[in-house]
Amino acid sequence: MASTATSTATEAELKAEYTPLMHAIEDGKNEEALKLIADRADVRDQESVRGLSPLMLAAGSGNLDVVSALLLAGAPWNALDRKGYCAGDHALLNGHQEVVDVLVNAGVQAELIFKALRGKSSLPPAKSSRPASGTDDAAAAAAATESEADPYLRSEVRYEGDNLIDDRERGVMMEWEKPLMIAHAKELCASGGDVLNVGFGLGLIDTAIAELGPRSHTIIEAHPQVYQRMLDLGFDKKPGVRIVFGRWQDVIYDIGTFDSVFFDTFSDVNDLDEFHDVLPIILRDGGLYSFFNGITPDSLFFQGVACQTIQISLAELGFTTEFEPVDLDVSEDEWQGISNRYFRSSTYYLPRIRKPRPGAASAQ
């Protein structure tokens, strides 16, 4: 990505902070750059004005040999410049696909190592789920304890127009997601079997699922106000619908197995990884799983790394994964007053994860 000078500094002044390694890369002196790397030049340094690093400069110019050498020497693949771009973004914006592929592989390897070092999640003992129509004191006490452990569950949320907003003006779920939720629901209900959705939000996907009429429809929701919204909308009275109030971590082992599962909670990728650990238990053979794919919305490159990491992690659990691109047009007006723009891309990669039936792999 070509660098632009600021209004207060010339290009020469901006480059005055470059290290010898950065100058060599900028000037296309590959042999000199490779020698400096071999001599243990600082590969992690970033100049202070634009935040450029040796790896960003090499990626932006498509210098595959230098990029590979920098990665081997420990250059951070995920460092960001002042505009929020990483080395992969610099390569993408300049059309250097070979470099992008090398950086994606480096990112995936790093993420898998991080996940292995972090270890598997330790789920708490399973508790009894709270029935939709009950007022069980023990369940209420359990829900209160769970809320104390999760800032979101303690927060106040409100339904404002067609959006669900928390007390920090963050969008928890928004109306523009409706076409995506309908697409997810159609796939989840294609078998006509038992469907589980984790996270009610606006009820977009649950409305679509209920209209498609699968054999059964289970909803897990942990936020008290969102749970009450479900009751106000009459979901507890819909045929075939079962509402489970509580954190999914606490109720998941008590609710049976399913033909289709969808996961969309107000959480991060670590919670998604944690949920994936229980998929082999709750998803039936031949079943379909998907999730709202809003991972790393600020960078197409980082999303590519995240999707490949998920694909490999799920393959280790015995699942097959593909991502179907879906065109998406979200106007700027949708984000007025929202503090977290949690999706920026014009393409949504719809996850389609299958649990093979026994013998399916050997039969291929």
User: Predicted confidence band at 119 (pLDDT cuts at 50, 70, 90)?
Assistant: low
Furthest-apart CA atoms within the chain: distance in Å: 73
354 and 238 in a common domain: yes
3-state secondary structure of 119: coil
192 lies in a domain? yes
One-letter-per-residue 3-state SS of 245-305: ECCHHHHHHHCCCEEEEEECCCCCHHHHHHHHCCHHHHEEEEEEEEECCCCCCCCHHHHHH
Dihedral of the CA atoms 204, 207, 212, 214 (nearest 10)?
100
**291 near 251, Cβ under 8 Å?**
no
Segment 164-211, tens digit of pLDDT: 887 778 778 888 889 999 999 999 999 999 999 999 998 999 999 999
Determine the average pLDDT of the residues in 35-57: 96
Which secondary structure element, helix H or strand E, spans residue 326, and what is its range?
Answer: strand 320-327
Higher pLDDT, 93 or 155: 93
pLDDT at 152: 74
CB 354 within 8 A of CB 319: yes
- Looking at 118, 145, 160, which one is the last position of a domain? 118
Among 8-12, 124-128, 298-302, the range with the most confident prediction by mean pLDDT is 298-302
pLDDT at 360: 66
- Residues 96, 168 within the same domain: no
In percent, how much of the chain has pLDDT > 90? 62
User: If you write DSSP's letter for every residue of 141-210 in order, what string do you get?
Assistant: HHHHHHHHT-HHHHS-EEEETTEEEETTS-EEE-GGGHHHHHHHHHHHTTT-SEEEEE--TTSHHHHHHH
Q: Would you say the pTM of this structure is higher than 0.85?
A: no
The answer on 93 and 20 residing in a single domain is yes
Predicted local confidence at residue 131, as pLDDT: 27
Can you give the pLDDT at residue 8? Answer: 53
Mean pLDDT of the chain: 85
Spatial neighbors of 245 by CB under 8 A, at least 6 apart, are 129, 130, 132, 139, 143, 221, 222, 227
Q: Which residue has the tokens 């939720």?
A: 181
* pLDDT, mean of residues 142-155: 57
Does residue 76 sit in the same domain as residue 165? no
Least confident of 143-152, 158-167, 187-196, 321-330: 143-152
Return the closest-CA partner of residue 275 out of 286, 289, 285.
289
Q: Is the pLDDT of residue 144 over 60?
A: no
Pick the last residue of a domain from 88, 118, 148: 118
Convert the pLDDT of each residue in 249-292 to its tens digit. 999 999 999 999 999 987 666 788 899 999 999 999 999 999 99
Domains held by the chain: number? 2
Quick one: tokens of 197?
């959705």
If one counts every other C-beta atom within 10 angstroms of the C-beta of residue 137, the result is 8
Query: Taking each helix axis from N to C terminus, what angle separates 300-316 and 97-118, rounded to the nearest 10 degrees?
Result: 50
Give the domain extent around 143.
137-363
Return phi, psi of residue 57, to 5°.
-65, -45
Higher pLDDT, 346 or 243: 243
Handedness of CA 54, 55, 61, 64 (dihedral sign): positive
Place of tokens 């969102």: 226
pLDDT at 224 exceeding the cut of 50: yes
pLDDT digits (tens, 9 = 90+) for 199-208: 999 899 999 9
DSSP 82: T
Q: Residue 108's Cα: distance from chain center in Å?
A: 14
CA distance 221 to 198: 7
Residue 232 lies in a domain: yes
- pLDDT of 362 > 90? The answer is no
Cα distance between residue 292 and residue 263, in whole Å = 7
State how far the Cα of 279 lies from the Cα of 273, in Å rounded to an integer: 10
- Give me the CATH number covering residue 51: 1.25.40.20
CATH at 196? 3.40.50.150
- 216 and 168 share one domain: yes
